[in-house]
């Protein structure tokens, strides 16, 4: 039953992300816009490139959607609303999201098109930049919780949310999540002005709809992971009597809105800069975060 | 042991063997080279520009640029002054004021008449208004290329506002222009993603003009020899870095400068705009004269030489800035990463309609 509820919630969440994205980019709040867009996608003819690698071309978008759903399986929305509370849950999220890279490389290579292929390779470079900044902050979060269970990580923040306990980790994880979801300013692999859509450029109709849905679910999954790791999960603010699911929903939507808004106000980062900044500044800062959290855990258990 | 190695070598596809005959680019890595078109309709580049990069990975190994919509100003037969002006008005939809104005100036030079002061000032205002609109249009494309959505929306809405504005409404847009300038000075990542890209360092202009030349420190601007501009305190704005960031800053500064010139020109009525493209009909019967004019269009200097016979234009030669600037694409993009190369091409602000075929 939980699986069904979470799948429905993910779809609902993806719908609201689409509404938000449309609102932010076009300046108009249109609740029905994603529905009309979806109908238009399904109604359009699907153009197929001349010489695609059929397997990669077809599997890429589906794998993107599946990897995002897989990562969401270990994210608790309430103490009981979780698909599976794995003992290695926090690391499982990272493992599942690695398939985002595989999906995008397949989607980039499959159509046999220059724009999409370059986009796919760009994401590989992007992974080298952000991957450590996903794992290392999660390590610090798990250190405080003394567990990789995602429910236990939420419980460990009962007195103080991790955004206050380890703000550095939050900033790094938030930035890396945006890079993983290829949101602006980290959208080099689907850059319209450089690659005419990149990985997306050779997809149309139903396939493009699945690709876009996969990306929306990925955004909502990463926002939910941020809430679980740093914003106290389902736990609310004192004095406001909302049910746990409502707190989760509000926080996830706020994080999603922040992720979508930030990219609008800054230009796209360059691939080389992302790599150098992540390795020169990001990884040392992530190590510093682990060290600080280690000291705090020892001093204030 | 030896037999094991032999077994491995016989079935192993050596990368050295596979890549030994492939061409090498600057980084020394042998890869398949592919020709990729970027245009004639590519987001972030002006429509009509036919740009093809030969890519080695995502490095540009060679570039080829042409236009789908270039102009040929060859006159098959003599045409009247006003028909000639109308023809130049249709030459470049991105600069609908500069070229007909250039035609007026060249005809006036040939016929020996000078425009009235009020007309000359109105022309100055029209030209500066077009410069603001053109630079804002470039900013919109620049924002599209760099994925800077806020700037794209802001620049395009300001461009529309300027296009529809009369003199009084232009003055009211001052705050919006200043705010945009300030905002771009403080935008994170803007400097880092444009600095050092498309660098053009020149001792002499090498055919460059307009913001391209001035951003490289070349003090070249046709407006400096116009007495009406001098009276309004016009000075040539320059920068020395010669890269995309310098071109961006220079265009932003020029928007502000154009605004100041419009304010100082103090044109009170829009009715003057109706007269700026007209030449005096009293000189229609001028016999066998030639004239020339230079104008500073938003993209650089345009020069027109023409010959008049029996009150009609019989021949004309036009030099446009984009024709010259097109030749910079190859040196600017050579061995650049794809994103940088496209940004460098975009920073040239080419108008495909201006390019002569």
Write out pLDDT tens, residues B154-198. Answer: 999 999 999 888 888 888 888 898 999 999 988 888 898 999 998
- Is the Cβ pair B148, A268 closer than 8 Å? yes
Query: Is the CB of residue B186 less than 8 Å away from at least one CB of chain A?
Result: no
Q: In which band, very low, low, confident or very high, does the pLDDT at A133 lie, cut at 50, 70 and 90?
A: very high
* Cα radius of gyration (chain A): 19
Distances (CA, A) of B270 to B93, B105, B165: 22, 21, 10
The reported pLDDT for the residue numbered B287 is 65
Instruction: List chain B residues with CB under 8 Å of A184.
Output: 147, 149
- Please name the residues in contact with B186: beta carbons below 8 A apart, sequence gap of 6 or more: none
Summarize the confidence of residues A147-164 as an average pLDDT: 93
The reply to whether residue A191 touches residue B340, judged by beta carbons under 8 angstroms, is no
Residue A51 has pLDDT above 90, yes or no: no
The closest CB to that of A194, out of B55, B145, B153, belongs to B145
- B49: three-class secondary structure by DSSP: strand
d(CA B148, nearest CA chain A) in Å? 4
Report, as an integer, the average pLDDT of A23-45.
86
Cβ-defined contact of B36 to A273 (cutoff 8 Å) = no
Beta-sheet pairing, B59-67 with B300-309: unpaired
| Structural domain spans, chain B | 15-71+322-357, 75-113+279-319, 117-265
The answer to whether A273 contacts B149, with C-beta atoms less than 8 Å apart, is no
CB contact under 8 A, A114 and B150: no
Whole-angstrom distance, CA of residue A264 vs CA of residue B143: 11
CB contact under 8 A, A267 and B151: yes
- Which of the 8 DSSP states describes residue A281? I
The C-alpha of A44 sits at a distance from chain B's nearest C-alpha, in angstroms, of: 21
* Residue A151 C-alpha, separation from nearest chain B C-alpha, in angstroms: 37
Select from B95, B89, B86 the least CA-distant residue to B46.
Answer: B95
| Contact check, Cβ <8 Å, B340/A270 | yes
Q: Chain B: nearest CA to A93, how far in angstroms?
A: 29
* Chain B residue with the nearest C-alpha to that of A190: B147
- Identity of the residue in A122, A193, A273 whose CB atom sits nearest the CB atom of B147: A193
Helix axes A2-26, A205-230, angle to 10 degrees: 100
∠ at Cα A127 (A123, A128), nearest 5°?
Answer: 120
Whose CA is closest to A189, among A179, A204, A174?
Answer: A179
What mean pLDDT comes out for the span A158-169?
93
Q: Across the A/B interface, how many CB contacts are shorter than 8 Å?
A: 75
Contacts of B55 in chain A (CB under 8 A): 114, 118
User: B55 and A269: CB-CB below 8 Å?
Assistant: no
| Residue B153 Cα, gap to closest chain A Cα (Å) | 9
Beta carbons within 8 Å of B17's beta carbon, 6+ residues apart: none
CA angle A218, A220, A221 (to 5 degrees): 60
For an interface test with A, the pick among B34, B192, B339, B346 (most A C-beta atoms closer than 10 Å) comes out as: B339
Distance from CA of A146 to the nearest CA of B (A): 38
Residues of chain B with pLDDT under 50: 1-5, 7
- Among candidates A122, A196, A267 on the partner chain, residue whose Cβ is nearest the Cβ of B190: A267
Q: Would the CB atoms of B34 and A114 count as touching at under 8 Å? A: yes
Average pLDDT for residues A136-159, to the nearest whole number?
94
Q: Rounded to whole angstroms, how far apart are CA atoms A44 and A135?
A: 40
Determine whether the interchain pair B144/A192 forms a contact, defined as Cβ–Cβ distance below 8 Å. yes
Between chains, do B147 and A118 touch, taking CB under 8 Å as contact?
no
Contact status of B67 with chain A (Cβ, < 8 Å): no
Residue B60: strand, helix, or coil: strand
- B146 vs A193: CB contact, 8 Å cut-off? yes
How far apart are the CA of A242 and the nearest CA of chain B, in angstroms? Answer: 35
Q: Do residues B161 and B173 touch, judged by C-beta distance below 8 A?
A: yes
ipTM exceeding cut-off 0.90 for this assembly: no
Instruction: Indicate if the pLDDT at residue A45 is higher than 90.
Output: no
Q: Mind telling me how many Å the CA of B37 is from chain A's nearest CA?
A: 9
* pLDDT of res. A99: 94
CA distance B140 to B142: 5
- The length of chain B is 357
List the single residue in A185, A187, A271 with the smallest CB-CB distance to B189: A185
Per-residue pLDDT tens over the stretch A3-14: 899 899 989 999
Residue B151, chain A, CB below 8 Å: the answer is yes
B44–A193 CB contact, under 8 Å: yes
Is the CB of B337 less than 8 angstroms away from the CB of A272? yes
Q: What top-level class would CATH report for the domain B117-265?
A: mainly alpha
> According to the model, what pLDDT value does residue A224 have?
96
Q: What's the gap between Cα A122 and its chain centre? A: 18
Segment A71-81, tens digit of pLDDT: 999 999 998 88
Percent of chain A residues past pLDDT 90, beyond the cut = 70
If pLDDT is split at 50, 70 and 90, which confidence band does A290 have?
very high
Whether residue B146 lies within 8 A of chain A, CB to CB, comes out as yes
Q: Which residues contact A13 (CB under 8 A, 6 or more apart)?
A: A217, A220, A224, A252, A256
The mean predicted confidence, pLDDT, of chain A is 92
Q: Across the interface, which of B43, B144, B147 has its CB nearest the CB of A184?
A: B147
Chain A's closest residue to B37, CA to CA, is: A114
Residues 6+ apart with CB under 8 A from A208: A41, A61, A200
Are A230 and A170 within 8 A, CB to CB? yes
- Residue A143 predicted with pLDDT over 80: yes
Q: Tens digit of pLDDT for each residue in A174-198?
A: 999 999 999 999 999 999 888 989 9
Task: Report chain A residues touching chain B, CB-CB < 8 A.
Answer: 25, 27, 114-115, 118, 121-122, 184-185, 187-188, 191-196, 263-273
Q: Strand, coil or helix: what is A138?
A: helix
Alpha helices in chain A (DSSP H): 2-26, 33-43, 54-72, 89-109, 114-145, 150-155, 162-165, 167-180, 192-195, 205-230, 244-264, 271-277, 283-299
């Amino acid at each position: 039953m939980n699986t069904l509820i979470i799948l429905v919630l993910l779809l609902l969440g993806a719908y609201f992300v689409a509404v938000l994205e449309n609102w932010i980019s076009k300046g108009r709040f249109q609740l029905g816009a994603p529905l009309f867009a979806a109908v238009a996608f399904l109604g359009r003819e699907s153009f197929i490139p001349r010489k695609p690698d059929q397997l990669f071309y077809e599997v890429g978008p589906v794998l993107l959607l599946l990897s995002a759903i897989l990562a969401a399986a270990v994210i608790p929305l309430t103490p009981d609303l979780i698909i599976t509370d794995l003992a290695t849950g926090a690391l499982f999220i990272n493992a599942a999201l690695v398939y985002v890279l595989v999906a995008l490389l397949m989607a980039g290579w499959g159509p046999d098109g220059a724009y999409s292929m370059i986009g796919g390779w760009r994401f590989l470079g992007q992974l080298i930049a952000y991957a450590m900044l996903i794992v290392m902050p999660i390590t610090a979060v798990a250190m405080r919780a003394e567990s990789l269970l995602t429910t236990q990580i939420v419980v460990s923040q009962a007195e103080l949310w991790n955004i206050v306990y380890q703000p550095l980790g939050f900033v790094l994880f938030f930035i890396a999540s945006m890079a993983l979801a290829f949101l602006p300013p980290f959208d080099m692999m689907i850059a319209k002005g450089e690659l005419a859509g990149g990985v997306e450029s050779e997809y149309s109709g139903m396939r493009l709809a699945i690709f876009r849905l996969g990306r929306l679910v990925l955004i909502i999954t990463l926002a939910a992971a941020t809430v679980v790791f740093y914003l106290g999960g389902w736990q609310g603010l004192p004095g406001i009597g909302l049910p746990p699911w409502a707190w989760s929903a509000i926080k996830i939507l706020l994080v999603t809105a922040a992720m979508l808004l930030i990219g609008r106000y800054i230009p796209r980062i360059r691939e080389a800069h992302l790599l150098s900044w992540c390795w020169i500044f990001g990884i040392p800062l992530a190590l510093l975060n682990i060290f600080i959290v280690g000291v705090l855990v020892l001093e204030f258990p | 042991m030896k037999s094991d190695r032999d077994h491995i070598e016989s079935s192993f596809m050596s990368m050295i063997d596979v890549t030994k005959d492939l061409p090498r680019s600057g980084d020394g890595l042998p890869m398949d080279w592919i020709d990729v078109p970027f245009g004639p309709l590519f987001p972030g580049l002006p429509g009509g520009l036919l740009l093809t990069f030969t890519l080695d990975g995502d490095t540009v190994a060679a570039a080829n640029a042409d236009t789908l919509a270039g102009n040929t100003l060859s006159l098959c037969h003599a045409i009247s002054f006003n028909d000639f002006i109308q023809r130049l008005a249709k030459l470049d939809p991105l600069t609908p004021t500069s070229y007909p104005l250039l035609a007026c100036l060249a005809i006036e030079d040939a016929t020996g008449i000078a425009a009235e002061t009020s007309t000359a000032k109105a022309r100055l205002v029209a030209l500066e208004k077009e410069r603001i609109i053109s630079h804002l249009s470039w900013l919109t494309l620049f924002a599209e290329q760099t994925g800077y959505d806020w700037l794209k929306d802001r620049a395009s809405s300001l461009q529309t506002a300027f296009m529809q504005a009369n003199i009084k409404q232009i003055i009211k847009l001052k705050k919006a222009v200043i705010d945009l300038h300030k905002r771009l000075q403080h935008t994170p990542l803007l400097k880092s993603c444009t600095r050092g890209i498309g660098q053009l360092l020149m001792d002499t202009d090498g055919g460059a003009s307009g913001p391209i030349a001035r951003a490289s420190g070349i003090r070249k601007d046709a407006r400096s020899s116009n007495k009406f501009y001098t009276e309004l305190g016009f000075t040539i704005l320059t920068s020395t870095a010669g890269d995309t960031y310098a071109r961006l800053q220079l265009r932003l500064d020029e928007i502000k400068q154009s605004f100041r010139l419009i304010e100082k020109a103090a044109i009170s009525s829009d009715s003057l705009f109706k007269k700026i493209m007209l030449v005096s009909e009293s000189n229609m019967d001028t016999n066998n004269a030639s004239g020339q004019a230079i104008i500073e269009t938003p993209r650089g200097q345009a020069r027109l030489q023409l010959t008049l016979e029996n009150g009609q234009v019989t021949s004309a030669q036009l030099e446009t800035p984009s024709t010259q600037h097109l030749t910079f694409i190859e040196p600017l993009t050579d061995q650049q990463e794809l994103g940088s190369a496209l940004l460098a091409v975009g920073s040239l602000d080419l108008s495909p309609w201006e390019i002569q075929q």
